[in-house]
């Protein structure tokens, strides 16, 4: 499989075979790292730029450590410390960075920005999260599911909450391509875009995946192998929307009762993180006090339970991002 020179902007652009290859390559990198084997000569002398217009812990650290393990140097740029957006357009930035770097990661707002960057850069561009898609997260999630269940096809993944945003969209694409049954469970206005659903139904015909959209948590989680959720208010959204989101989505919180409704002891809980499962964050505390609740999309009990694999997912961000860089640069 030769993916050199390819961008990694959304899973839509990759075939199931290519996604499967990246997951397997990540597993290989993970095993090597555990044995203390590093490929620091493989890409020696290469440089990559990491652009973060939104904050990050996992994605930034994963790109930095993965690059380091591959012998690649990194430069971190945020919107306050560079000209991006304010004095220089994305197209101009792309052409400048493309002359200096061998690859560019971008985290920011609209998907069209990362697509524009890729159009002009002339080097691989990797999407580190946009409003619409978070493809490197889904690679890590699929690796985690494969590690836990030994396979991807036929696994039932239920996504609870705002399924119109980056995580809901990307998980639906990833599941549809790789043959996992995907259920989005939320009020109808939080279902993914109908055009994206239509596209994913085409992928599902080939992979055998079943896509379901339900407003009823009890019905949706029956037989679920994975219950997945994400924050109710994403980065870049106004804090004004918290009240409406809590009202709309509280019925879709992942709690012990919901986990028990799957009818399976083996169901795992997944979350891309960061999560509002307690009051130990600034925003969690502020919103918790304002709306008189101590937990949001997931209870602390589920987050801390043996069913929760969230830190395996977080670790797998690094191994999967390493596979993406290694394969495409
Ligand atoms: N899951 C994820 O992308 O985390 P960060 O925002 O910390 O990068
Ligand atoms: N939906 C979340 C994902 C964070 C990794 C956000 O965009 O903030």
* Statement: the pTM of the whole predicted model exceeds 0.85: yes
Whole-Å CA distances, 84 to 59, 79, 88: 20, 6, 5
Ligand 1 and 272: CB distance under 6 A: yes
Q: Map tokens 């961000």 to a residue.
A: 317
Q: Closest ligand to 57 CA?
A: 1
Ligand 1 and 26: CB distance under 6 A: no
* Secondary structure letter of residue 84 according to DSSP: B
Tokens read off for 162 = 């705002």
Domain with CATH 3.40.50.1370 in the chain: 11-134+316-328, 138-315
CA-CA-CA-CA torsion for 26, 71, 134, 276, nearest 10 degrees?
Answer: 90
Give SS3 for 176: helix
Contact between residue 230 and residue 160 where contact means Cβ atoms under 8 Å apart: no
Ligand 2 and 160: CB distance under 6 A: no
**DSSP state letters, 237-262:** S-GGGHHHHHHHHGGG-B-HHHHHTT
Ligand 2 and 235: CB distance under 6 A: yes
Return the residue whose CA atom lies nearest to atom 7 of ligand 2. Answer: 234
Q: What's the CATH code, domain 11-134+316-328?
A: 3.40.50.1370
Return the residue whose CA atom lies nearest to atom 2 of ligand 2. Answer: 234
Query: How many angstroms separate the alpha carbon of residue 128 from the centre of ligand 1?
Result: 9
Ligand 2 and 214: CB distance under 6 A: no
Q: Closest ligand to 230 CA?
A: 2
Q: Determine whether domain 138-315 maps to CATH 3.40.50.1370.
A: yes
Choose which residue among 57, 169, 235 to substitute to test ligand 2 binding: the one with the highest number of ligand atoms within 8 A of its C-beta. 235
- The one-digit pLDDT tens for each residue of the chain (329 residues) are 999 999 999 999 999 999 999 999 999 999 999 999 989 999 999 999 999 999 999 999 999 999 999 999 999 999 888 898 889 999 999 999 999 999 999 999 999 999 999 999 999 999 999 999 999 999 999 999 999 999 999 999 999 999 999 999 999 999 999 999 999 999 999 999 999 999 999 999 999 999 999 999 999 999 999 999 999 999 999 999 999 999 999 999 999 999 999 999 999 999 999 999 999 999 999 999 999 999 999 999 999 999 999 999 999 999 999 999 999 99
3-state helix, strand and coil shares in percent for the chain, rounded to the nearest 5:
45, 15, 40
Tokens read off for 36 = 């203390």
CA-CA-CA-CA torsion for 105, 127, 156, 159, nearest 10 degrees?
Answer: 110
Query: How many angstroms separate the alpha carbon of residue 129 from the centre of ligand 2?
Result: 8
Ligand 2 and 283: CB distance under 6 A: no
Q: Which ligand 2 atom is nearest residue 167's CA?
A: 1
Q: Between vectors from CA 25 to CA 22 and to CA 27, what angle results, nearest 5°? A: 110
Which residues share a beta bridge with 270?
228
Query: How many angstroms separate the alpha carbon of residue 61 from the centre of ligand 1?
Result: 9
Ligand 1 and 279: CB distance under 6 A: no
Query: How many angstroms separate the alpha carbon of residue 235 from the centre of ligand 2?
Result: 6
Ligand 2 and 231: CB distance under 6 A: yes
Helix axes 135-149 and 16-34, enclosed angle (nearest 10):
70
Ligand 1 and 7: CB distance under 6 A: no
Choose which residue among 274, 313, 324 to substitute to test ligand 1 binding: the one with the highest number of ligand atoms within 8 A of its C-beta. 274
Helical segments of the chain, H only: 16-34, 58-69, 90-100, 111-121, 135-149, 166-178, 194-207, 217-220, 242-249, 256-260, 282-290, 300-303, 310-328
Return the residue whose CA atom lies nearest to atom 3 of ligand 1. Answer: 59
Q: Closest ligand to 161 CA?
A: 2
Q: Closest ligand to 313 CA?
A: 1
Catalytic residues: 107, 134, 137, 230, 272, 317
């Amino acid at each position: 499989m030769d993916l050199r020179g390819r961008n990694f902007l959304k899973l839509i652009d990759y075939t199931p075979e290519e996604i499967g290859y990246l997951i397997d390559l990540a597993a290989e990198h993970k095993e090597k790292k555990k044995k203390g084997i590093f490929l620091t000569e493989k890409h020696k002398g290469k440089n990559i730029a990491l652009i973060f217009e939104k904050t990050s812990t996992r994605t930034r650290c994963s790109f930095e450590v993965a690059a380091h393990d591959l012998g690649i140097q990194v430069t971190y740029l945020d919107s306050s410390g560079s000209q991006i957006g304010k004095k220089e357009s994305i197209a101009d930035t792309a052409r400048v960075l493309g002359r200096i770097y061998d690859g560019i990661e971008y985290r920011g707002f609209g998907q069209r920005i990362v697509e524009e960057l890729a159009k002009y850069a002339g080097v691989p561009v990797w999407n580190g999260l946009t409003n619409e898609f978070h493809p490197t997260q889904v690679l890590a999630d699929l690796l985690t599911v494969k590690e836990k269940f030994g396979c991807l096809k036929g696994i039932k993944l239920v996504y609870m909450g705002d399924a119109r945003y980056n995580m809901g969209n990307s998980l639906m694409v990833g599941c549809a391509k790789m043959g996992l049954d995907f259920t989005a469970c939320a009020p109808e206005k939080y279902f993914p875009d109908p055009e994206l659903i239509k596209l994913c139904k085409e992928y599902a015909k080939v992979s055998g995946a079943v896509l379901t959209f339900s407003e009823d948590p009890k019905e949706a989680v029956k037989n679920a192998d994975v219950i997945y959720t994400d924050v109710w208010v994403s980065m870049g959204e106004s804090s004004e929307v918290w009240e409406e989101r809590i009202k709309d989505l509280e019925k879709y919180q992942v709690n012990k009762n919901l986990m028990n409704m799957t009818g399976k002891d083996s169901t795992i809980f997944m979350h891309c993180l960061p999560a509002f499962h307690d009051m130990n964050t600034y925003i969690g505390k502020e919103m918790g006090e304002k709306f008189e609740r101590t937990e949001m999309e997931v209870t602390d009990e589920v987050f801390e339970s043996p069913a929760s694999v969230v830190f395996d997912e977080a670790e797998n961000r690094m191994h999967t991002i390493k596979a993406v860089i290694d394969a495409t640069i």
